[in-house]
């Protein structure tokens, strides 16, 4: 069992470092937290966790390697990801200043399904996540590791990711953060929009050049 514990520690460390670094998932949780409140952000966190579960599943079955080897299919994924990032960016960029009453009402303006779907698709349509999990399961995890142990790795990664983003959502929905949000909400959302546009442009560029 000792080799598996070392391997699990490596998987968790590498994954959590990637999760905690700035990226589309983190940006979306920040936006959901300060823009719509704790409950929508938690639903989006769950959506991201389910997205990671999908990545883990196809990586375990070797489908990820087929995806990586099919250039046109991977390019389609990059185009879809870029288009979805632009869709989210447009919603952020057209943000306008909110008065106090609008801020108090905005937390109830997004359904659980919409919040979940935003987190799910943001993660699923990020080609970097696809490449990351293919690399993780093909390079870090030994081919000799039993499938049931690899499944356990995947479940632990999914749970830890959901917990991490839930903690971020909880922190960002504290009263002091909401007060600051009333003044700077539109600037924060526009900044998120610019970031998502940059991600989309990068994905389009990679799909065209490669």
**Residues making up the chain, counted from first to last:** 210
Whole-prediction pTM:
0.71
**pLDDT tens-place string over residues 48-59:** 999 999 888 887
Most confident region among 13-22, 39-48, 135-144 by mean pLDDT: 39-48
pLDDT classification of 154: cutoffs 50, 70, 90? confident
Residue 43, pLDDT score: 94
Tokens standing for 114?
């919409």
Give the separation between CA 20 and CA 172, rounded to whole angstroms: 15
Domain positions in the chain: 2-209
As a whole number of angstroms, the distance between CA 22 and CA 40 comes to 20
Instruction: Look at 13-17, 86-90, 118-122, 184-188 and tell me which has the smallest mean pLDDT.
Output: 184-188
Query: Nearest Cα to 169, choosing from 44, 83, 8, 19?
Result: 44
Q: What is the mean pLDDT of residues 143-167?
A: 87
d(CA 124, CA 128): 10
């Amino acid at each position: 069992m000792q080799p598996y514990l070392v391997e699990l520690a490596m998987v968790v460390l590498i994954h959590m470092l990637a999760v905690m670094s700035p990226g589309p998932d983190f940006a979306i949780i920040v936006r959901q937290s300060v823009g719509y409140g704790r409950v929508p952000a938690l639903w989006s966190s769950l959506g991201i966790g389910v997205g990671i579960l999908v990545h883990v599943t196809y990586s375990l079955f070797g489908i990820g390697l087929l995806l990586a080897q099919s250039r046109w299919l991977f390019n389609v994924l990059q185009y879809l990801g870029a288009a979805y990032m632009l869709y989210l960016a447009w919603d952020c960029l057209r943000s306008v200043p909110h008065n106090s009453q609008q801020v108090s009402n905005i937390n109830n303006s997004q359904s659980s399904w919409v919040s979940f779907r935003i987190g799910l698709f943001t993660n699923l349509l990020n080609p970097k996540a696809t490449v990351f999990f293919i690399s993780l399961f093909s390079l870090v995890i030994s081919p000799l590791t039993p499938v049931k142990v690899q499944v356990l790795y995947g479940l632990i990664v999914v749970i830890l990711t959901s917990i991490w983003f839930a903690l971020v959502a909880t922190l960002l929905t504290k009263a002091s953060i909401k007060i600051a949000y009333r003044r700077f909400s539109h600037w924060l959302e526009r900044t998120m929009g610019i970031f998502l546009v940059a991600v989309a442009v990068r994905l389009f560029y990679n799909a065209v050049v490669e």
